Structure 1
């Protein structure tokens, strides 16, 4: 017993509560945690909340955070489960919440009465997990722990439709919103003087347009290029979000103009446009917290000071749900046997032109592609055909279809495309759609080569964001407005 009490650190604590039978630094040697272990973990939580000595609570919290950092799957799963179960209100809380729901102070009630009701409400909604999360968030490494914990809770909630995990997600998000106050968020420009370890980490996190060599990384940090990232001291160098941009003369309509083998360069003092061409929010545990939005706005504000010749701020963004939308709609048309060759005439110069003169009733009719549905689906998934001259003849029709698709908001006022919804929610304008803008395999598979320019006008962002969020109103530029007019004719 004396020897066991003498053990220090994570192993000693969890040997005392019976969770580990072997060293936590050798994950392969762990036994699976059982339901009895969850009971022991529950008692650790009770000690954490009942211990009046501050140093004792901090020590237990720090060691639980360290347990998570050890990244042992059984331990993570059971720690997540124990916290999630504590995030749901117990029977007494449900009764208290019911009472509160049926009582409210009269109009003009004394301030003291309203204050007491507020205090009762705060006590009623505070779960057992709240006190534990308070301690865990304050422990060394606690912010990063909460970010990773929320990511795990989101995953479990989505995969298993788990109410307890959803409750934990909400509790952790509320804490992160407090801990990640804007005063602690730092915008940094990344360049060739940035520590190599950080550049390597950002390169590894880049999933939109992967970096495959040191030369590619060097080119993205050239004089007419830039990268910015947001950081929080509690994340120990892990970026919250980062963006790559290029300084250009005019608005580019193709990814090749930025990162292609023959991409041009413009002296920075002659550039009039900053193009945000890759934006990443690599932390799943920060989903929905607006760091991508804050990154773009902070970067624009920085550039307005450091690059006075730049007056246009625009993105070159994918339309990642467009290919799926088109292919699924074609399948739906086929399933309902609506396609019988009827549709709009194909573009001039395409085989079969002029053969049909009926209003389009299907996706194939809209595109004027008088071929069997399975053949069209095969062609639209063919990297070579999609960049061919024949495919280009259909480009105008795809652009009209994309304009309608992106601006057709649902009952909640949201665009069906996640990237469009992000930028429109930030207050950007859908300024232009570009056919053949991304001819890579990923560009074909997800966007049918289309990309979009979203225009960020600093003085109009709040107004447009408000109209979009409250009314589902999409601000469009002249080019997109023309496409919509032509599509409705």
Structure 2
């Protein structure tokens, strides 16, 4: 009846009896549906409670019994829809986590432990460690030992991450995070570099593996079989880490271009001029050996540089499990073995989030200007940049900065050579500022930058018109960046970044990041133009 009382309040009547006749039947339907939902939730909770009670109280009488228990758990979970999975994991986390009463009891004994000698203290600490271990941890460890168990836990952690981000319950979020952290710790152990296998993927690799490489590519999507064939063809290397417990399942993928210099735009890699064109019929359908021309034979003398242009972690459930750094190191050794004269290693990386950050900074400056806290162009555009952009200011723009914002948001600057030239200076300079100076807890704000800087790379060069696809323009105004790996400096750079939060940067990028002319005179001119 509580639901009807609430409905009556919303309708402005005293009780159900005062409902208009037309609403009374609808209210009864609402009440019936609400009761059905409550009963269904109650039944689900009872089912979960009974099932989990069986799982956690069944004696582990040998390997077969443990394996059957784990298979039953996995099978039960897989049959649930997302709503039921959320409720199931919430019940698991709340009822089979750390026993708080045990922890309090053991903590009490610790206060007396030192008085009873070192041996008693050691035993008490061990009891505390055991009491602080969630009951579901042992179950997850057992699941990890059965066939398909590790993949199941990876997928379940992906569910947990999704449920955590969408949960409206603070308690559920806390429980989901605890479950997720424990799974991350287990997966970090199981996916250590010693358990990973480096595999090169070529056009002759198993079809399902090649297809997964295409499906998982997130940085520069593969649009056709011709495109895919090129990515694993001549002057290209595609490497992946696989795990024994997830056979034929790439867990992280690295695409590399073999060139004579460090590439400054992605189009020179994706649209490889060395690649011999295949027949039009193979563009949208899977080609066979008779429908395509052979790959061009590589000339080792022209290969001096390895450009890492895409690295993708393929499973959300492995988020936070570091493998990309190890994959790059292994690939470097592999390429050095194949091409001993290889001397340059660099990424060609996207800059996700740059345009959003830039628009946010512009809006902030425009707001400050509107409330009288200075000129809108100060701190963002230099006098020379304002002068270059002034011709593109339209009558409805209140300032040159607003015109700049319009060009950034609409991508219209790419349509004319004049605007392409005018936009180059401010975009390169502000991007350098974003990558070098914008921090989160002392480390680079941009996640891709943080990844490569953590690995010990140098913020080496920012490239204009490097990715003029819609995706590239919307992410970063068409800019890309090279993080260069000087192999004899990576360890020191990584240590410095971790300990001192200092970014290894080339002189050219540093000059861009720190260049900011005085805007006083420009501000006066701009105010006059208002």
- Which residue of 362, 378, 396 maps to 2:406? 378
**TM-score where L is the length of structure 2:** 0.76
2:334 is aligned with 1:305: no
Equivalent in the alignment of 1:322: 354
Cα deviation code 1:153-187 (max 9, x no counterpart)? 22222332511101101111121122223322001
2:85 is aligned with 1:37: no
Gaps of 5+ in 2: 1-39, 276-295, 519-530
Equivalent in the alignment of 1:23: none
Does the 8 Å contact 2:389/2:400 carry over to 1?
no
Q: CA deviation at 1:486?
A: 2.8
Q: CA deviation at 1:396?
A: 2.0
Cα distance between partner residues in 2 of 1:157 and 1:102:
37
Cα distance between partner residues in 1 of 2:376 and 2:189:
59
- Which residue of 72, 76, 98 maps to 2:85? 76
Equivalent in the alignment of 2:314: 282
Q: CA deviation at 1:405?
A: 1.5
Q: CA deviation at 1:332?
A: 1.8
Equivalent in the alignment of 2:235: 224
Equivalent in the alignment of 2:139: 132
Q: CA deviation at 1:103?
A: 7.7
2:427 is aligned with 1:398: yes
Does the 8 Å contact 2:256/2:309 carry over to 1?
yes
Does the 8 Å contact 2:389/2:423 carry over to 1?
no
How many residues get paired?
A: 442
Equivalent in the alignment of 2:66: 57
Secondary structure class of the residue paired with 1:381: helix
Equivalent in the alignment of 2:479: 450
Does the 8 Å contact 1:97/1:125 carry over to 2?
no
Cα deviation code 1:128-158 (max 9, x no counterpart)? 1112212222222111011111112222223
Cα deviation code 1:63-107 (max 9, x no counterpart)? 22234445743553344233322464222244157548868869x
Gaps of 5+ in 1: 1-30, 356-368
- Which residue of 248, 256, 266 maps to 1:255? 266
- Which residue of 183, 191, 194 maps to 2:202? 191
2:210 is aligned with 1:181: no
Q: CA deviation at 1:54?
A: 3.4
Specify whether residues 387 and 418 from structure 1 end up closer, same or farther in structure 2 by C-alpha distance, changes over 3 A only: farther
Equivalent in the alignment of 2:497: 468
Cα distance between partner residues in 2 of 1:214 and 1:290:
30
Cα deviation code 1:423-458 (max 9, x no counterpart)? 111111101111111101011101111110001122
Cα deviation code 1:235-286 (max 9, x no counterpart)? 2322110011101111111111111375789734321110001110121111
Does the 8 Å contact 2:435/2:444 carry over to 1?
yes
Does the 8 Å contact 2:350/2:472 carry over to 1?
yes
Specify whether residues 342 and 55 from structure 1 end up closer, same or farther in structure 2 by C-alpha distance, changes over 3 A only: closer
Secondary structure class of the residue paired with 1:394: helix
Equivalent in the alignment of 1:163: 174
Q: CA deviation at 1:116?
A: 2.2
Cα distance between partner residues in 2 of 1:487 and 1:100:
63
Specify whether residues 172 and 485 from structure 1 end up closer, same or farther in structure 2 by C-alpha distance, changes over 3 A only: closer
- Which residue of 447, 468, 471 maps to 1:439? 468
Equivalent in the alignment of 2:390: 352
Equivalent in the alignment of 1:149: 156
Specify whether residues 105 and 284 from structure 1 end up closer, same or farther in structure 2 by C-alpha distance, changes over 3 A only: farther
Secondary structure class of the residue paired with 1:318: coil
2:441 is aligned with 1:412: yes
Cα distance between partner residues in 2 of 1:146 and 1:485:
47
Equivalent in the alignment of 1:272: 304
The farther-off stretch of 66-75 and 377-386 is 66-75
Specify whether residues 392 and 83 from structure 1 end up closer, same or farther in structure 2 by C-alpha distance, changes over 3 A only: farther
Cα distance between partner residues in 1 of 2:497 and 2:240:
27
Equivalent in the alignment of 1:4: none
Q: C-alpha root-mean-square deviation of aligned residues, in Å?
A: 3.0
Specify whether residues 104 and 488 from structure 1 end up closer, same or farther in structure 2 by C-alpha distance, changes over 3 A only: farther
Q: CA deviation at 1:221?
A: 1.5
Q: CA deviation at 1:44?
A: 2.5
Q: CA deviation at 1:488?
A: 7.0
Cα distance between partner residues in 2 of 1:307 and 1:100:
63
- Which residue of 455, 462, 470 maps to 1:426? 455
